[in-house]
Amino acid sequence: MREYLVIAHPDETGGYWTEVPALPGCGSQGETLEEAVEMTKDAIEGVLETLQAHGKPIPEDKDVVVKVTVGV
């Protein structure tokens, strides 16, 4: 099992789009956050399977997310 950071963004026209920083170009979209995340899981699996099939290394996710509060 592997874990990857998925960043979800609200889309201007509705729904969400996602990105996976450890896997450049990997992401998806959906009408709901849950749908976007599920679609992104499928995209991640596809990227990892492709890398594996071509004998390429599978990137590890080393990103750290920190949320801060500021007084402005």
The answer to whether the CB of 22 falls within 8 A of the CB of 61 is: yes
Residue 72 pLDDT level (bands cut at 50, 70, 90): confident
Structure tokens at 18: 């996602």
pLDDT tens digit sequence for 6-48? 999 999 999 999 999 999 999 999 999 999 999 999 999 999 9
Query: Coil, strand, or helix at residue 7?
Result: strand
Hunting for tokens 């509060």 — which residue is that?
Answer: 69
What's the predicted TM-score (pTM) here?
A: 0.89
Structure tokens at 29: 């979209």
The helix (H) or strand (E) run that includes residue 44 is: helix 33-53
Strands (E) located in the chain: 7-10, 16-19, 29-30
